[in-house]
């Protein structure tokens, strides 16, 4: 079990947690929730079992267009402030690789920083997170969102991603970050085969003695393998989420909270069986 200090709110991972995705961007690979009422969406996710709501204003899908920090801040701050006002006990995560956005979001009520670049796209990010005293989700990505899926290549993906986190753990610790969450970065600079290899070997990442986050929701690994679409990838997502739970995931980052909670409930019952 891990306990994360989210600006005074303690988040325990004695059972797997759900992070609900709320996109505040028109440029998302799966956008069913963008036009929904944000407050209604947040409330339904919380009621269904989400412990964290992850707010993002910069699309990071393959080939996405990078926007300015000012534009990203304009997109996410009203959402964070609205959720913080109506659901003050809910833990909010800001999905950004920009340190200025992270700082503004935490000042507005966010209490976790979720960075797809592990600090590699903004050299000030790790120091900024340390100064904010919030948990840091550090993800592995090869390349950047604009080009990451063009020709991803690894000699041994599990070893290389493990080596990456060995270095990042030391870097974050030296900077003063006390709560770090590992995200192997499914779909970020990785082929479908790479993603399945990471999923199959996910237990290796629990050796860092940190929570492991799995973000598989409706990604191309699911729908391309099943020869379907992101819109029809819910069942496949649930299957892969269950595999992630069996292999040590502490947090599931999902679009569909109800189904993820059902997977966790069944997983918990399975674990308790004699």
DSSP 145-193: TTTTTSS---SSHHHHHHHHHHHHHHHHHHHT---EEEE--TTSS--HH
How much is the pTM?
0.93
Residue 99 sits at φ, ψ, to 5 deg, of -65, -35
Paired with 138 in beta bridges are 115, 182
For residues 177 and 204, state if they share a domain: yes
Q: Which residues, 6+ apart, have CB-to-CB distance to 176 below 8 Å?
A: 130, 131
Percent of the chain at pLDDT > 90 equals 85
Assigned domain for 33 exists:
no
Largest CA distance in the chain: 54
For residues 149 and 183, state if they share a domain: yes
Token pair, residue 46, equals 């919380």
The domain of 226 spans 215-274
Mean pLDDT (whole number) for 72-76: 93
For residues 189 and 117, state if they share a domain: yes
- Mark whether 253 is an active-site residue: yes
**Which residue among 188, 211, 234 closes a domain?**
211
Percent of the chain at pLDDT > 70 equals 93
Assigned domain for 19 exists:
no
User: Does the pLDDT of residue 27 top 70, yes or no?
Assistant: no
* Catalytic annotation, pick one of 253, 258, 271, 272: 253
Mean pLDDT (whole number) for 48-61: 90
Residue 88: helix, strand or coil by DSSP?
A: coil
Assigned domain for 12 exists:
no
* Catalytic annotation, pick one of 9, 219, 224, 258: 219
- Mark whether 219 is an active-site residue: yes
pLDDT of residue 144: 76
For residues 165 and 207, state if they share a domain: yes
């Amino acid at each position: 079990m891990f306990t994360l200090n989210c600006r005074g709110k303690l988040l325990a991972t004695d059972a797997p947690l759900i992070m609900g995705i709320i996109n505040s961007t028109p440029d998302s690979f799966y956008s069913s929730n963008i036009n929904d009422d944000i407050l209604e969406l947040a409330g339904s996710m919380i009621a269904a079992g989400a412990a964290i709501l992850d707010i993002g204003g910069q699309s990071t899908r393959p080939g996405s267009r990078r926007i300015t920090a000012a534009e990203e801040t304009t997109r996410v701050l009203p959402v964070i402030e609205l959720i913080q006002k109506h659901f003050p006990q809910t833990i909010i995560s800001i999905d950004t690789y920009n340190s200025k956005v992270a700082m503004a979001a935490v000042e507005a009520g966010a209490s976790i920083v979720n960075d797809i670049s592990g600090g590699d796209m903004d050299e000030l990010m790790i120091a900024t997170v340390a100064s904010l005293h919030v948990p840091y989700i550090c993800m592995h990505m090869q390349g950047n969102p604009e080009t990451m899926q063009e020709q991803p290549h690894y000699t041994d993906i599990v070893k290389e991603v493990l080596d990456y986190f060995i270095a990042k753990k030391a870097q974050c610790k030296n900077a003063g970050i006390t709560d770090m969450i590992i995200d192997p970065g499914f779909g970020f600079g990785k082929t479908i085969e790479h993603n399945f290899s990471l999923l199959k070997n996910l237990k290796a990442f629990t050796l860092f003695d940190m929570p492991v986050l799995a973000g598989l929701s409706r990604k191309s690994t699911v729908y391309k393998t099943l020869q379907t679409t992101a819109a029809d990838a819910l069942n496949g997502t649930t299957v892969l989420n269950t595999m992630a739970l069996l292999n040590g995931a502490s947090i599931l980052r999902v679009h569909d909270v109800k189904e993820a909670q059902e997977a966790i409930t069944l997983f918990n019952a399975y674990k308790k069986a004699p």
